[in-house]
Amino acid sequence: MDVANVNLAGLAPNKPAERQKTMKRSARKVTLSSVIAAAPLLILLIGFLAVPLSYIVWGSFEGTKLNFSHYARVFASATNLNILLHTLRVGLIVTVVSIILGYPVAYLLTKVRSLPLSVLSIFILIPLFTAFLIRTYAWMIILGREGIINNALIWLGVITAPLQLLNTTFAVVVGMTHVFVPMAIFTMYSAMAQIDHAYAHAAQILGAKPVQAFLRVYLPMTLPGVFSAGILIFISAIGFYITPALLGGPSDTMISQMIVDQMTTLLNFELGYASSIVLLLVIIAILFVASLFIPLEMIWSSASSSSDQEPRAAARLLKRAKRALGPAVSAIEGVAHAATGQLLTKNAGWLWAYTVAILIFLTAPLIVVVILSFSSSPFVVFPPPGLSLQWWRKLANATDWHQSFLFSIQLGIAAAFIATIIGTMGAFWLVRTKFMFKKALFLFSLSPLMVPVVIIATSLYVFEARIKMLGTFSGLVIGHVLLSVPYVIVVMSAALRNFDTSLEPAAAVHGARPLQVLRLVTLPILKPTLLTAGLLAFLTSFDELLVGIFLLGRQTPTLPIKFWADIKYQIDPLLSAASTLIVVLVTASIITVQLIRMRHEKRTTAGTAD
Partner 1 sequence: MSTSLEMKNIQKFYGPLHVVKDFDLHIQPGEFVTFLGPSGSGKTTALKMIAGFETPTSGDIFLGSRSIVDLPAYDRGIGMVFQNYALFPHMTVSENVAFPLTVRKAARKDAEDKVAKALSLVKMEQYKGRYPNQLSGGQQQRVALARAIVFNPSILLMDEPLGALDRNLREHMKVEIMRIQKDLNMTVVFVTHDQDEALTMSDRIAVINEGSLVQVDDSKSLYNRPRSRFVASFLGESNMIPCRVDEAQNGSAKVTLAGAASGAAQLSGQINGDQGWLFVRPERVEINLSSEPAAVTNSLDGVVESALFLGEMTRYLIRCGNETITVKRQNRGQLHFAGGTPVKVSWKAEDCVVLQ
C-beta of 64 vs 605, nearer to partner 1: 605
**Residue 165 in contact with residue 204, Cβ under 8 Å?**
no
C-beta of 78 vs 606, nearer to partner 1: 606
C-beta of 10 vs 386, nearer to partner 1: 10
Q: Which of positions 496-535 make contact with partner 1 (CB under 8 A)?
A: 500, 502-503, 505-514, 516, 520-521, 524-525, 527
**Residue 113 in contact with residue 348, Cβ under 8 Å?**
no
Q: Rounded to the nearest 5°, which phi and psi values hold at 387?
A: -105, 140
C-alpha pair distances (Å), 149 with each of 88, 145, 159, 166, 512: 28, 9, 11, 11, 65
**Residues β-bridged to residue 375:** 387
C-beta of 115 vs 609, nearer to partner 1: 609
Residue 323 Cβ vs partner 1, minimum distance, rounded to whole Å? 40
Whether the bond into 311 is cis, omega within 30 of 0? no
Residue 516 Cβ vs partner 1, minimum distance, rounded to whole Å? 5
- Any contact of residue 436 with partner 1 (CB under 8 A)? no
C-beta of 21 vs 438, nearer to partner 1: 21
Of 26, 82, 309, 498, the one binding partner 1 by CB under 8 A: 26
- Any contact of residue 78 with partner 1 (CB under 8 A)? no
Residue 422 Cβ vs partner 1, minimum distance, rounded to whole Å? 25
- Any contact of residue 18 with partner 1 (CB under 8 A)? yes
Q: Which of positions 304-323 make contact with partner 1 (CB under 8 A)?
A: none
Q: Rounded to the nearest 5°, which phi and psi values hold at 606?
A: -65, 165
- Any contact of residue 114 with partner 1 (CB under 8 A)? no
- Any contact of residue 3 with partner 1 (CB under 8 A)? yes
- Find the part of the chain contacting partner 1 (CB under 8 A) among 20-28, 97-105, 374-382, 543-551: 20-28
In angstroms, rounded to a whole number, what is the distance separating the alpha carbons of residues 60 and 72?
11
Q: Rounded to the nearest 5°, which phi and psi values hold at 118?
A: -70, -35
In angstroms, rounded to a whole number, what is the distance separating the alpha carbons of residues 355 and 124?
11
Nearest to 269 by CA among 470, 88, 450, 63: 63
- Any contact of residue 324 with partner 1 (CB under 8 A)? no
- Any contact of residue 12 with partner 1 (CB under 8 A)? yes
Residue 532 Cβ vs partner 1, minimum distance, rounded to whole Å? 16
**Residue 283 in contact with residue 452, Cβ under 8 Å?**
yes
C-beta of 18 vs 310, nearer to partner 1: 18
Residue 406 Cβ vs partner 1, minimum distance, rounded to whole Å? 35
Nearest to 560 by CA among 442, 410, 405, 330: 405
C-beta of 322 vs 599, nearer to partner 1: 599
Please calculate the CA angle 281-285-286 and round it to the nearest 5 degrees: 120
**First CA to last CA distance, the chain:** 44
C-beta of 65 vs 603, nearer to partner 1: 603
Q: Rounded to the nearest 5°, which phi and psi values hold at 570?
A: -165, 140
C-beta of 265 vs 605, nearer to partner 1: 605
In angstroms, rounded to a whole number, what is the distance separating the alpha carbons of residues 558 and 535?
18
Residue 575 Cβ vs partner 1, minimum distance, rounded to whole Å? 44
- Find the part of the chain contacting partner 1 (CB under 8 A) among 8-16, 55-63, 292-300, 476-484: 8-16
In angstroms, rounded to a whole number, what is the distance separating the alpha carbons of residues 590 and 539?
10
Where are the alpha helices (H) located in 294-398, listed in sequence order? 297-300, 313-324, 326-340, 349-372, 390-397
- Any contact of residue 468 with partner 1 (CB under 8 A)? no
**Residue 495 in contact with residue 571, Cβ under 8 Å?**
no
Nearest to 589 by CA among 601, 577, 599, 581: 581
Residue 438 Cβ vs partner 1, minimum distance, rounded to whole Å? 19
Count of alpha carbons within 13 angstroms of residue 317, beta-carbon side: 5
Residue 339 Cβ vs partner 1, minimum distance, rounded to whole Å? 48
- Any contact of residue 4 with partner 1 (CB under 8 A)? yes
In angstroms, rounded to a whole number, what is the distance separating the alpha carbons of residues 598 and 114?
12
**Residue 201 in contact with residue 114, Cβ under 8 Å?**
no
Q: How big is the site for partner 1, counted in residues (CB under 8 A)?
A: 43
**Residues β-bridged to residue 387:** 375
Residue 603 Cβ vs partner 1, minimum distance, rounded to whole Å? 5
Residue 439 Cβ vs partner 1, minimum distance, rounded to whole Å? 22
C-beta of 22 vs 160, nearer to partner 1: 22
C-beta of 223 vs 512, nearer to partner 1: 512
Q: Which of positions 575-604 make contact with partner 1 (CB under 8 A)?
A: 600, 603-604
- Find the part of the chain contacting partner 1 (CB under 8 A) among 12-20, 61-69, 315-323, 324-332: 12-20
Contact set with partner 1 (CB under 8 A): 1-5, 8, 11-12, 15-16, 18-19, 22-23, 26, 500, 502-503, 505-514, 516, 520-521, 524-525, 527, 600, 603-610
